[in-house]
Amino acid sequence: MAPPESFANYPDVLEGPDTGYNQRIDHNPILRGLPLVVGSGIICNVGVVARFFYGNAGFTKIKDMPTLDDVSPTFHPTVTPLGQTGPMIGFEPELLTSQHPSSKARYYSAGDYHELYKSGSATPLQVIETLLGLTTGTGKYSDAWADAHGAEKLAVEAAKASTERWAAGKPLGILDGVPIGVKDDTEVKGYVSHFGMKYNASLPFFAPQEETVWPVKKLQEAGAIVLGKNKMHELGSDTSGVNVAQGTPTNHFNKSYYPGGSSNGGGSSTGAGVVPIAVGTDAGGSVRIPANFNGVYGLKPTHHRTHVMQMTMCVTGPLAANVADLTIAYRVMSQPDASCPTQGRFALSLPPAPSAKRVMGVFRDWFNKADPPVREMCDKALDYFASKRGYEIVDISLPFLPEFQVAHAALCLAEMAEKNRRRTPNPAHHQSLAGPANRLLLTMGALVSGADYLKINALRTVLMNHLAFLFQKYPGLMIMTPTSPLIGWPRSPSDDSHGMSDTNITMRNMSYVFLANMTGTPSITAPVGYVDPEQGEGKLPISLLATGEWGSEEQLLAWAREAEEYLNETYPEGRRRPDTWVDVMALARGKQ
C-alpha cells in the first residue's frame, strides 16, 4: 500500500509483527531523601556504577534487536499534512458561549470572560489584579506559579490595554482579556524561563527572554493576557510534578497526590479554575498527564504543528478547563509561521465531515494493564461511544511496545542532557543546575551511545510504519487507551526536601502517552469519571486518551467535545471540580 500523497514524509505503510504485549517489569532503584542524595552522587561520579544502571534500565538491548538490522532510522517524526495553510478556521458559535451552564461544577470559559467584559461587570484589569493577588506571595494558588522577578507588571500593562479596547468597543475577539498561564520552559518576552530549576541570577541562562515563542505570541496577539509562568517539574524530566527547587504545585482534587508533570503548574492552575487555558509542553505526556491528574483537557499536537523545537519528542500544546477553550487555543497557536519552512507548511486540520468514519482501535492486552478502577471507568466510556455515538470498536495490535517505551525514555534523556549542557558557561558544570534526581537522569542521558541512538530511531521507523498501516486500513481510526494506568501518584511529604527518583512508577505512568511522542502523532486526553483515592480526601479524575493520524487534531477535538458531553450529562455523578475551585469572576466583580 502506497503512502498518501497528501502528506510530506508519510511513513511507509508496513504492518509490523504481532509481538503481543508483555508488560515490562522494571527493577530500577527507588531513591528518596538522603539515600537519593548519596546514591545520585555515587552513580553520577563512578562510571562503572552509572553504566550498570544504564544497562539495568534496558537501554543497551535495543541495538541488539535482529529485526532492526535492515531498518533505516527515522531521526525526526515530522509528518506534514499538505494543503491549504490558512486562514485559521473560525470559531463555531458553540465555542463562544457557556457550555453545560446548568452544571454545578461548571468551569469558566473564554466565552464567559467575554460576556463578563461585554456586560461591564468587571474589566480585564480587575481580573488580572484579582489573580495576581491569588498567585503571588503565599496564597493557596501561588504554588503553581514561578517567580516572575518583577515581570508581573507586563500582565498589568496588557490588562490595561485590553480594558481600553473594551471601553472603546473594539475588543480583539473571544480571547481579549482572557488570563492564561505559560509553562516555565516556554519563552515569553520579559520573563525568565527557569525550566523548573533554582534561579541563579549570575548565569546568563536565567536572563529574561528577549522574544516570545510563536504560539504564545499568537495568543497574545488575539488579546490573551499572560498572567505568569507556570511551574514545572525540574527540567521537565518526570511525570509526578514534584519540584524541590521551586516547590510542588497542589493537586486541588486531592492534596495527597501529585499534580502530574511536567506541566504541573498548568494542570494545577486550570484544575483549580485560576486560568481557563495554560500553555504546556509534552515530550512524554507532560501536557496530557497533568491534565488527567487535575481533571481538565490537554492536547499534544502533531510534531512541529505549533512551532519547531530542537527536539524529536517535545511539542507545545494547550491545557484547558473546557474543550471549547482547548479548541480555540489550539487554532490560534497552530497558525502557520510564514518565516518557518517546517511549521509554516502545515495544512489546516479540518473538522471531520458528518459522513466521516468513526473508528476506535483498542489493543486489549495493553489497555487492560491499567489499574482495575481505571480500566473499568474507561471501558464504560468506550461502551457509551460505541452504543450512543456510533463508533466502531476494532481490535488492533502494536509491535514491540515495551521496547518502544524504553527507546522513548532513552531518547528523552539524551535530548534533555544535551540541551542542558549549554546552560552553564562551562558545559562540564551543567549538572550543578539540577537536584540529585535529575543529576542521575542527566548522567543516564549522557551514556546514550551512537549505536543506541541509531537503533532506537530504527525502532521508531517500525512503529511509525505500523501506525501508517493501521490508519490506512481503518480510515478515521483513533487509538484508545487510558491516559495513565494509575489512579494517581500518591504524594510523600518526605520528598519535599530532596525529591525522589522512582523510575518504575514513572515508566508505568507513561505506559500509554509515549506512543504519540515517539511517532509524532497528535493525542488528546479527556476526563471520563472519578474514583476513590487510596489516601487523602477527594476523588481522583480518570481520563481517556485518543491518539490519531498525523494532522487529525480537529478530529480529536471533536471527539473530546463528545467526551465532555458524556462526563457532564451521562456519567452518573456528572463533572466535578475541587472544593478549592476559585470563582475568579465573583472576586473580580467585588473589586468594583
407-426: average pLDDT: 96
CB 449 within 8 A of CB 417: no
Q: Is the pTM value of this prediction over 0.95? A: yes
State the virtual CA torsion across 259, 265, 270, 276 in degrees, nearest 10: -160
pLDDT of residue 25: 83
263-287: average pLDDT: 98
Q: Could you give the number of structural domains in the chain?
A: 1
Q: Cα(95)–Cα(323) distance, rounded to whole angstroms?
A: 8
331-342: average pLDDT: 98
Side-chain-facing half-sphere of 584: CA atoms under 13 Å:
32
Q: Cα(164)–Cα(160) distance, rounded to whole angstroms?
A: 6
Whether residue 188 is contained in a domain is answered as yes
Cα–Cα nearest to 582, from 277, 291, 272: 272
Residue-wise pLDDT tens digits, 8-63: 999 999 999 999 999 888 888 899 989 999 999 999 999 999 999 999 999 999 99
Q: What distance, in Å, lies between the first and last C-alpha atoms of the chain?
A: 65
Kindly report the average pLDDT of the chain as a whole number: 96
DSSP annotation string for 124-187: HHHHHHHHHHHHSTT-TTGGGB---TTTHHHHHHHHHHHHHHHHTT---STTTT-EEEEETTS-
pLDDT of residue 23: 86
**Residue 307 maps to which CATH number?**
3.90.1300.10
215-233: average pLDDT: 98
Does the pLDDT at position 592 exceed 80? Answer: no
Share above pLDDT 70 across residues of the chain, in percent, rounded to a whole number = 100
pLDDT of residue 98: 82
Does the pLDDT at position 472 exceed 60? Answer: yes
Q: At what angle do helices 124-135 and 110-119 cross, to 10 degrees?
A: 130
Whether residue 26 is contained in a domain is answered as no
CB 184 within 8 A of CB 205: no
Does the pLDDT at position 427 exceed 90? Answer: yes
pLDDT of residue 566: 98
Whether residue 387 is contained in a domain is answered as no
Whether residue 304 is contained in a domain is answered as yes
Whether residue 141 is contained in a domain is answered as yes
Q: Cα(533)–Cα(536) distance, rounded to whole angstroms?
A: 7
Cα–Cα nearest to 452, from 67, 77, 65, 45: 65
Whether residue 139 is contained in a domain is answered as yes
Segments forming the whole domain that contains residue 234: 91-342
Whether residue 31 is contained in a domain is answered as no
Q: Which residue has the cell 500582565?
A: 155
Whether residue 319 is contained in a domain is answered as yes
359-383: average pLDDT: 98
Helices (H), 389-512: 401-420, 436-446, 450-473, 495-498, 503-509
Share above pLDDT 90 across residues of the chain, in percent, rounded to a whole number = 94
189-205: average pLDDT: 97
